[in-house]
Amino acid sequence: MIDTASTAPEIEAAKPELAVVGVGSVEQHAAHLPVDTDHLIATRAAPQVAERLGALSLPALPYSVCLEHRGFAGVVCLTPDTVRRIAWDIAESVGRWGVRYLAFLTFHGGNFILNPAAREWNMDGRSPRIFFVDFYAGLSGVGDNLHACEVETSIMLHLAPERVHLERAVDFVPTWRREDLTVLGMRRVTPTGVWGYPTRGTVEKGRRWLEEGIAKSTEKIAHLREGCETLG
């Protein structure tokens, strides 16, 4: 496993072509999960994805774009321009010592900016190629769960049970759609900050969803890398 606990000569000798960065967030997760839930999951899951790919594991970003959560305490938000700049700065840095593919693996849904940021960079023909992958995309059996929900609560019960206050969890599903958050924000559509069914969370579901997310993210990144190699 090559990561930032390695020395510079060790990294140089390993010549990693692919690097993986988890993207967390510091934002409200209702009354039953900590505000660093996304970051904690990123720090635990992204290195496993990197390891399976034989990639360099870079430290997860604690902050990202969570504008939709403004109005709740505990929210620390970067603006989209900042996150685009960070993504490009990391790409520019790792490209100098041979990394050809840089995957941003996001554990928070509001980081839409990473998609146009990656697209603009890549279509300009710049190196390394930036991949933007959503850890939660394509998980099975998610249903109406979006935030501080059955999925996140389960994964936290699996990874850090001492930080889950399940007795305070309250289920709530807004009548709005996810894209309406762009206009309304979370505060208006959910009084508690929950979107989904946290009371249905279990350790076993968390173990399964985490493994599925790691497997699918690994597969997605490998597929993109293969596309770059075969299509040039």
Please give the residue ranges that form the binding site for Zn ion (CB under 5 A). 37-38
Rounded least distance, CB 20 to Zn ion, Å? 19
Nearest distance from residue 29's CB to Zn ion, in Å? 6
Half-sphere exposure of 156 (CA within 13 A, CB side): 28
Q: Contact at 8 Å (CB) between 199 and 157? A: no
Q: Are 20 and 54 in contact (CB under 8 A)?
A: no
Cβ pair 206, 166 in contact under 8 A: no
Closer to Zn ion by CB, 38 or 150: give it. Answer: 38
Q: Looking at beta carbons only, is 85 or 165 nearer to Zn ion?
A: 165
The closest alpha carbon to 146, from 111, 173, 117, belongs to 173
What is the DSSP secondary structure assignment for residue 17, as one 8-state letter? S
Taking the least distance from each CB to Zn ion, the nearer of 111 and 224 is: 111
Q: How far is the CB of 126 from Zn ion (least distance, A)?
A: 31
What is the closest distance, in whole angstroms, from the C-beta atom of residue 206 to Zn ion in the complex? 13
Sheet holding 18-23, edge to edge: 2-3, 56-61, 18-23, 101-106, 129-134
At closest approach, how far in Å is the CB of 22 from Zn ion? 13
**Closer of 127 and 202 to Zn ion (Cβ):** 202
Position with the least CB separation from Zn ion: 38
Would you tell me how many other CB atoms lie within 10 Å of the CB of residue 35?
A: 18
Give the residue with the Cβ less far from Zn ion, 11 or 21. Answer: 21
Q: Which two tokens stand for residue 96?
A: 């100098």
